[in-house]
Chain A
């Protein structure tokens, strides 16, 4: 989401408008998506909260869970999004700025509501490092945190789910980052969602079977129509990945 429209970028840059939010949300629900995630990518870099008028419009048409991410910095921010009808809130940059926010959110709303998004990328010496403010190429920067350390810390603080955005894979459709996801899986005892890189149905089979993630998130391939959700689910079922058909 940016300024009320659905957009999608490549490697977190050059975002293009993909369509109207209610139309897309209803379409994906009807096609069998199990959960939708709405990222307001401009929220954190601009130091403002997500514009929430669309959250209740989405909630009124959707009967599957959905998660809202973007600029949630306080209990009040989270409460208004959850009260508007979202199932979960996802926190990324604000949790890096103030890790205790995770504890407070989990205590108030329960861990099941609290998703931590982690944008991660390798550095020259091959360690995975967490990035911050990735919604804005001008402000996006690496933090001093190692991805595996942060994965452990957010769980200790009460995160109920982790979405790992493998930045190098994002939007380029060459497959999920199996190596990184496998490594994170070992340290992740809450549901782990893979994000970034889906290009073919076999990429989804791979990430479920090899990295043993609990869910796979994708945007480009669905927005462009390259992969239809019903076909993808049949493909997964045929490969013995457990899915809701």
Chain B
């Protein structure tokens, strides 16, 4: 049984995530097999690309129900986090529906170019297990044009011309809007925390 299954939804840029997990000593396997996903201790839903395409791929692979019914800790990263929500402006698509909100396009505001690319600060009130060892104000690397609103599911926010969900949790489903695999020490800490969650 592998420590971590990374869902192979056809997107590029899985290598950086695999290398990051390797540096933490985790054995990560790329798979699109529902049985293998269910058998893994942890599951990561990565995502670079567009929401509608990604959902189509998950559907054609027969993975939508498989992901929704996972019981172990699941981490959605960037687009992978957005897919946990009800729906997205990006390609007007329904998503996995695990979080009751719509992912919206980041509004065009003067001084805040879209896509949002850069190192922004995390803000959070309590200390959820996913953020252990991470300080308020620590910077992590974001690359996104769409963002999830703040709600009961939010465990950390960030601000880019307006507040949005930087990290979320609903039951065993976790999400990071930023790229922990590209966020230096802070990102490595988040991934290490995810590997520790029971």
Which residues of A are at the interface with B, using a C-beta cutoff of 8 A?
29, 34, 56, 59-60, 63-65, 79, 82-87, 108-113, 160-161, 188-192, 212, 214-215, 244
Contact = CB atoms under 8 A, between A and B. Distances in A.
Contact of B117 (A79, A160, A189): A160
B111 to A, nearest CB: 8
A46 to B, nearest CB: 25
B114 interface: yes
B13 A85 contact: yes
Interface of B: 12-16, 19-20, 22-23, 48-50, 108, 111, 113-115, 117-119, 139, 141, 143-145, 179, 181-185, 187-188
A65 B15 contact: no
B191 to A, nearest CB: 10
14 contacts: A59-B19, A64-B141, A64-B184, A65-B179, A83-B12, A87-B13, A87-B182, A109-B48, A110-B49, A112-B143, A160-B115, A188-B113, A191-B115, A244-B119
Nearest to B117: A191
Question: Which of A85, A160, A192, A214: most chain B CB closer than 10 A?
Answer: A85
B15 A87 contact: no
B26 to A, nearest CB: 14
Contact of B113 (A34, A87, A191): A191
B145 A65 contact: no
Given A60-B22, A63-B188, A65-B179, A112 B117 contact: yes
A189 B184 CA distance: 27
B145 A111 contact: yes
Nearest to A55: B15
Contacts of A190: 113-115
Contacts of A109: 12, 48-49
B15 A59 contact: yes
Contacts of B182: 63-65, 87
B15 A85 contact: yes
